[in-house]
Structure formats: C-alpha cells, structure tokens
Amino acid sequence: MSKQGNIRIASENMMPIIKKWLYSDKDIFLREIVANGIDAITKFKKLVDMGEAASAEDDFSIKISIDKDASTLSVEDNGIGMSEEEVEKYITQIAFSGAADFLSKYEKAGGEGIIGHFGLGFYSAYMVSDNIEIFTKSYRETENGVHWESDGESTYTIEACDRAERGTKIVMHIAKGEEEFLNESTIRNLIEKYCAFMPYNIYLNYKGNEDQPLNDTKPLYLKAPKDCSEEEYKEFYRKTFHDYHDPLFWIHLNMDYPFRLKGILYFPKVKSKVELERGKVKLYCNQVFIADNIKEVIPEYLMLLNGLIDCPDIPLNVSRSFLQNDRQVQKISKHITKKVADKLTGLFKTDQEKYEACWNDISVFVKLGCIKDEDFYAKVKDSIIFKNLDGKYQTLEQFVGKKADMPKSEGKAEDSDSADAETNAAKQEASTVYYVSDEIGQAQYISMFRNAGLNAIVCDTFIDPHFLSYLEYKETGHYRFLRIDAEIDTALKAEDANGDANQELIDAFKAALKNTSIAVKAEKFKSEEIPAVINVAEFSRRFGEMNAFYGLAGADTDRDMTIVINTANSLVRGFLKLEEDKKKFVANQIYYLAMLSYKKLSPEEMKDFSDNSVSLMELFVQ
C-alpha cells in the first residue's frame, strides 16, 4: 500500500534555492551522492565491528551505472540501508543529517570516516535531475525494502518494494539539457576529480570481478612516511597531477594532534610568471575532494606547489564547498607553512648540494613566500642564496663577507656600553650589493666588473625587483642593492686630472646627440676599451619595472637615464678635435653601442645605427 506526504521544509521556496544555489558547481552532485553511499558502508561496518550487525561480506563498493535509453544515472551501495521510517526522517526532512544522528548515537565508539554532517547532499542531485527514485533495504532483516520517489518539488511518494539486498540505490532521471551526465567519459572525469581516494571501491557500469575500480582506496598520503619509497612518491605525483616531470622534492604531512592532518606537498619546477598558475593543492576531508587551492588553508604563495591535504577536522559549510574561517583553519594553515619552511631550511643544512641544484626552480616560490608572509621570511631568510658571477651560491652574509658570529675584536664597540654599540651600529653604512638581471645583455658591464675584481649576484627572475626592495625594507641599514648599470663603482674609476675641464667635453657630446633627453656625464674608467656605458638610476628603473609588472600607467623603465663617457678611451679623448659633422657621427655611434649593451634600440635608432655602420664599411672599399 502506497501513501503520499509533504516534504517538510520551512518554506515552499526553499527547494529551488537548494537545487540551484546551494552548490557552486552542479557536477558536485556526484560527489555528494557517492559520499552518502560511502557513509552508508562505513556505518554498517561500524555496527559489524560493535557486534550489532552480522555480515560475511568483505567486498564493500559503490557501483555507478548509466542507462542512456532510460536517461538515468544510478549510484548503488551495499551499506547500512534504510527502513521506511529512516527514509522519512533522513530524506524528507531536509537538513536532518543521518551522519550526525549516527555519530551522536555511537559517539563513544568513535565515528572516524563518517563524511556527511548535513542532510542537504542528496538534494544536490536535483540540479541535474527532474525526478529521483530511491530503492533501499535496511540491514535489519525484519525490515522490508522501500521505494521513495519525488520530482523535487514539494511532494514525494513512498511505498514498499521487493528489494532483497541490503543497501541503497539512487536512480537519477537526468533532466533535459543535462544529458552530458549520461556520457561515460564525463562520469569518469567526475569520479577522478571528486572520488579518486574514497575508501571503498567505485565501479562504473560494473560487469564482474574482472572490472577495475576507478579510485585508489589506500592513497600514498595515508601511509606513514617511513613506509613510502622515493619511486612511490614520484609515481603518485605523476598519476595525481598528470605531470610527467619528476618533482624536485616533497613534504609528507602526517599528524594526529592537535588536529588530524595528512597529505603530500610537491615542489615542481617553477621559473616563469606564466607557470605561477600551474600549481594545484587539493583539499580533502576524509578522502572526499572539497576544492582546489582554498586560500583559507593554503596561503597564496604555497599554491605554486602541487599537492593534496586531507584534514577531517576542517570546518565546512553546509555544501561542503567552502571553509568556515575559524581559529582551527588558521592553525592548520600556519602548521602547513611551518612544515614547508622546515623542509627548506632542513634541506639547506643537510644537503646543500641538492638545495643549490633545486634553487633556480624554487627561488620564485621562496621569494614570493617571503614577500607575502613575514613569518615565513623569518624562518627561511638564512637559507636564501644567490648565485654570483663565478656560478657559486652564497647567502648575502657570505657574499658581502659578514659573519653573524663576528668576534668583538673586529667590531668598533668592544669597550663601549650598549648605548654606544647601538649608535655605532646605526652609523654603520649599508653594504652595497651589485646584481645582474641579464648575464648576456649586461656582458659589457660584467666584463668591467670582473676586470676590476668586483663581483655581483644574479637576480634574473621576474620577482627579483620586488624581492630586493623587500630585503632593503626588512634589513634596513644592512644592504643596498644596485644593478651593475645603475652607477659606476669607485673601483671602476681611475683618478682623472681633468676634473671640471670635462664640462666642455660633456657639452659638446650632448649637443651632437640626436637623443636630446638623455643626460651626459664624463668619468675616467680604469679600462680604456669601452667608450661609454648607460646608467639608469636604481630607484627610477625599479619603480618603472614594478609598474610594468602590474600593468600600470607610467611603466617607463628608462627614466633618469645617463650616458657616461669614458675619458680614458681614445675616441672620447679625441672627440673635441673633430669637425662638427664627425662629432655627430661619432657621438651617436658611441651612444648606440652603449645602448645596445643596455637594451634594444628603437626602430629609428636601429636604422640610423645600421646606416652609420654601412658608411664606416664603405671607407674600406674606397
């Protein structure tokens, strides 16, 4: 005998809201239905363990099937099942959680592995279905099978059925316009995305024992780190992230207190700004996928990594799609950040050769992390290294020759009181650190530096201009960074007896230039070979680079540009003796040569330089 009743909800307008707006992605319905089936199996196994139910089965599974002719998608479990009373309680009373009720009843026995906490997951299926049927039978042998059906509006039908097997089958009649969910490839992709690590086998269109499950019920991240081999870590990475390049190294998270947290974070190769988006950290709760790159748990800079984190204690909202931002989430986030910092500093101390080999690939991530998170910077700052012009990696302290444990005899305040020591420290001049951003383009400057016995660090990633500014801010008074084309170091200069007499040379050279906006200076270099170099003020160029990075107006990286002519060079020494037309020719050729060592010429300048070069070559054939 069948009977009818009303789904008990607070408002008749609630169902459309649940169906259309509860979840951000409608394909999440499959996760919810499958997760309910997983819960049903977990509940039954718990009852078996406690002696409240009997079962000779050991093949617990979820079977998904597609019937294109009937336009149905079905999900069946062999879990605890439901009686008619339980169907009315857990299905027709929206937001009444069967999982919550079970956990409350068996709290002392422990409820680990129970996924659901809300009663809304089932109704997510109405986002793609115009009618849903439930066929279920309780584990209690005295209970009959139950059939429930509703079109998702405000009424349902419930009646007895002849189902003989324990468990539940959900039959979704796929709505018009949602036929993509009747494609096997679509369902396979959804299972891979949402159900890849659920704890019981999941089959699609099950045919027999020879079928292989589509999920991994015992993923590597659930194992103890000591039980995992290097090849297992790499294989799990390739399979999970479809990246066939081996990761550089990884962090295996495994803790039970003060919160449960398991997972693996992999460091992939990241060199360019474009690759910043390639990282993906997947968040799971009891082996159920929640979302990618949730910023409340994973700081922005850690999203450069690939990995997955499973935290059963994470507080989710009713749709299991977003986190409730509370202290527990903040603690989890800080713990993950600390583990990443510990891995970096540990590798730096114990295997510096490997650390240096990986540095080019991880430096962007580390520097971005420092800029975004002061606590992270504090933990890793002593592990930040730079390559110098000799190809050797050093910390800044090593590069400038400072020692953290400098003996007092080398200081200036060994006999002073603390106040004098602070005064002397404040007066200490910041160490100038020259850097190179393009070893090929700045080869001329590098040659001058090497000939003068100077060295520089290589900062050639897109994040470096911002990071150097950050270091100057954080280490105020300790370091001052200048690109090697920002000014002429005193070590590059020779004593110039001409002094102020160079002004006539400067005026004549500037008058001969076609570029009237550039400033002109004269210096005597130790090297006679180079007629001139281009200098651009560090602050102005860095400001322009930052504007260009963020796509802002005024991104002019060539403001405050100066051409410095070398009075030790024979061309420059003889410049004032030239006729006016030859002065223009020589001045502009010197300017073009200097500019080519700094950046590309404009089309007009390139044509002029080419024409001048041809004119010079014609002199040899006359």
DSSP 88-134: HHHTSBTT--HHHHHHHHTGGG--TT-----S-GGGGGGGTEEEEEE
* Tokens 């090849």 found at: 231
Q: What is the DSSP string of 305-340?
A: SEEEEE-TT--B-TTSSSB---HHHHHHHHHHHHHH
Query: 529-547 as b/e, with b when 16 or more CB fall inside 10 Å?
Result: ebbbbbbbbbebbbbbbee
Mean predicted confidence (pLDDT) in 579-603:
91
Distance CA 530, CA 369 (A): 41
CB atoms under 10 Å from CB of 213, counted, come to: 16
Q: What is the DSSP string of 580-599?
A: HHHHHHHHHHHHHHHHHTTS
Q: How far apart are the first and last CA of the chain?
A: 114
Min mean pLDDT across 38-42, 188-192, 384-388 is at: 38-42
Which helix (H) or strand (E) segment holds residue 64: the answer is strand 61-67
The candidate with the shortest Cα–Cα distance to 200, out of 113, 124, 264, 261, is: 113
Six-digit token string for 8: 């008990």
- Sign, CA dihedral 43-44-49-53, equals positive
- Per-residue confidence (pLDDT) for residue 234, from 0 to 100: 95
Six-digit token string for 36: 């309910």
For residue 15, pLDDT over 70 is answered with: no
SS3 content of the chain, % helix, strand, coil (to 5): 40, 20, 40
Mean predicted confidence (pLDDT) in 191-200:
94
Mean predicted confidence (pLDDT) in 78-91:
91
Residue pair 107/208 in contact (Cβ under 8 Å)? The answer is: no
Q: How far is CA 550 from CA 117, 229, 391, in A?
A: 43, 43, 31
Instruction: Identify the residue with better confidence: 13 or 456.
Output: 456
User: Quick one: what percent of the chain has pLDDT higher than 90?
Assistant: 50
Mean predicted confidence (pLDDT) in 9-14:
48
* Tokens 């149905």 found at: 72
For residue 235, pLDDT over 90 is answered with: yes
Q: For the chain, what is the mean pLDDT?
A: 83
Six-digit token string for 325: 């931002």
Distance CA 200, CA 216 (A): 8
**242: which residues sit within 8 A by CB, 6+ positions away?**
none
The candidate with the shortest Cα–Cα distance to 446, out of 504, 396, 388, 521, is: 388
For residue 367, pLDDT over 60 is answered with: yes
Phi and psi torsions of 386, nearest 5°:
-135, 145
HSE (CB half, 13 Å, CA atoms) of 414?
A: 6
Distance CA 130, CA 173 (A): 6
User: Quick one: what percent of the chain has pLDDT higher than 70?
Assistant: 82
Distance CA 430, CA 475 (A): 9
HSE (CB half, 13 Å, CA atoms) of 297?
A: 28
Distance CA 586, CA 520 (A): 15
Q: What is the DSSP string of 237-299?
A: HHHHH---SPPSEEEEEEE-SSS-EEEEEEE----SSGGGGG-EEEEEETTEEEEE--TTTS-
CB atoms under 10 Å from CB of 479, counted, come to: 19
Would you place residue 324 in the very low, low, confident or very high pLDDT band (cuts 50, 70, 90)?
low
Six-digit token string for 370: 């420092």
Mean predicted confidence (pLDDT) in 574-598:
92
- Per-residue confidence (pLDDT) for residue 513, from 0 to 100: 94
Mean predicted confidence (pLDDT) in 472-492:
89
Distance CA 104, CA 80 (A): 17
For residue 66, pLDDT over 70 is answered with: yes
Distance CA 246, CA 302 (A): 18
Q: For each of the domains in the chain, give its residue range(s) and CATH number, in order of start.
A: 3-204 (3.30.565.10), 220-376 (3.30.230.80), 385-484 (3.40.50), 492-541+551-622 (1.20.120.790)
- Per-residue confidence (pLDDT) for residue 303, from 0 to 100: 79
**615: which residues sit within 8 A by CB, 6+ positions away?**
585
Distance CA 369, CA 337 (A): 10
